[in-house]
Amino acid sequence: MRHSCAFSTYFLLVVFLVPSDGKPKVPALFIFGDSSLDVGCNNNLKTYAKANYFPYGRDFENHIPTGRFCNGKLTIDYASENLGFTSHQPAYSTLNIKGDNLLNGASFASSGSGYHDTTAKLWNVFTLNEQLEFFKDYQRELIRITGKPNALSIISGGIYLVGGGSGDFILNYYINPLHYTAYSPYQFSDILMQCYSNFIQKLYALGARKIGVPSLVPIGCFPVVITLHGFPSYKCVSKFNNVAIYFNQKLNSTSQKLLKMLPGLNLKVLETYQLFYNIVNKPSQYGFTEARKGCCGIGLIEVSIFCNQEAIGTCVDASQYVFWDSIHPTDAFNKIMSAHLLSEASPLLS
């Protein structure tokens, strides 16, 4: 059976995490970040950084493109299901009716965003600080419909997921002369760490206590990076991956400082780099046959508007592919990663 080991891990996590009474393990999930976590917050924006059109979503429920940069579900969707939620956390900025839709949390993540505000501004999407403003609005709505004591219980007991970094480099630093002529990628990482630290402190001030932060994946293994920067070997580009490794070291050390600084904070860096790297470089061990190119089109550069219904050569079976487009993984990959992330996040669930 394809992905049999991943399925076994997935099943065991479902059994372990979902209480016998059927209630979710945590009261709510709150999601901030970029396209790896965006479930449709950009759908109403005038931006190229959205995916509410085919073939995105072709393998999602009812084959509907929702704004997820994937053929199906994101890691956060699988994580939500494994934690016992019967519906995915909604994209807050596109909710027509809030009310009870807010009780399980919400997603504020915006594709094209990142830790640095200029990343989002380049793509006309929501910065992390703007996502935080949505969260403040969410809190007011939650208090209105549940009362302050219940709202505070949901806010303090919920799990917060904050993801960024990929867009800061791929969609900002490496294409923005204002940054790459002024700073080395390592210096830019240090700047991003200050942005990250400021955001966590603001989130903490709004009541967040259990925060999971995925590490930066090996961005040098994205098909688009290999295509543009990997000639002639067409393997993962080491200079990009070395930046990711440095970034993750700084992420860990900065997070340790935040834990000492903020009483009662439970902050966990969720390691993703190594598993991502292993899958890309040994895909057959995880049930995949293609890790060099994405499913959409020829899979070497297509992403966003270039991944569309007219894209030539889009694969039939995306479950054989690590990548859906030239940056974002497939549903099959996300299912494996979600099980790993939940294992990493276990200290937040106690």
**124 vs 143: CA distance, rounded Å:** 30
Residue 328 annotated as catalytic: yes
CA neighbor of 253 nearest in space, from 199, 195, 193: 193
| Non-local CB neighbours of 273 within 8 Å, separated by 6+ positions | 215, 216, 217, 218, 244, 245, 248
- The residue type of 14 is V
161 conformational bin, left if phi > 0, alpha if psi -120 to 50, beta if neither: beta
**297 vs 333: CA distance, rounded Å:** 18
Catalytic residue among 35, 113, 215, 326: 35
CA neighbor of 60 nearest in space, from 340, 289, 349, 334: 334
Q: Which residues pair with 160 in a beta bridge?
A: 30, 211
Q: Would you list the DSSP string of 163-209?
A: --SHHHHHTTGGG-HHHHTTS-HHHHHHHHHHHHHHHHHHHHHTT--
**206 vs 350: CA distance, rounded Å:** 21
Catalytic residue among 328, 331, 338, 340: 328
Q: Answer for the pair 226, 235: CB distance below 8 angstroms, yes or no.
A: yes
Pairing of strands 29-32, 159-162: parallel
Considering only CA atoms, give the Rg of the chain.
Answer: 19
**169 vs 165: CA distance, rounded Å:** 6
Residue 59 annotated as catalytic: no
Catalytic residue among 34, 59, 325, 331: 325
- The SS3 call for residue 260 is helix
Positions annotated as catalytic residues are 35, 325, 328
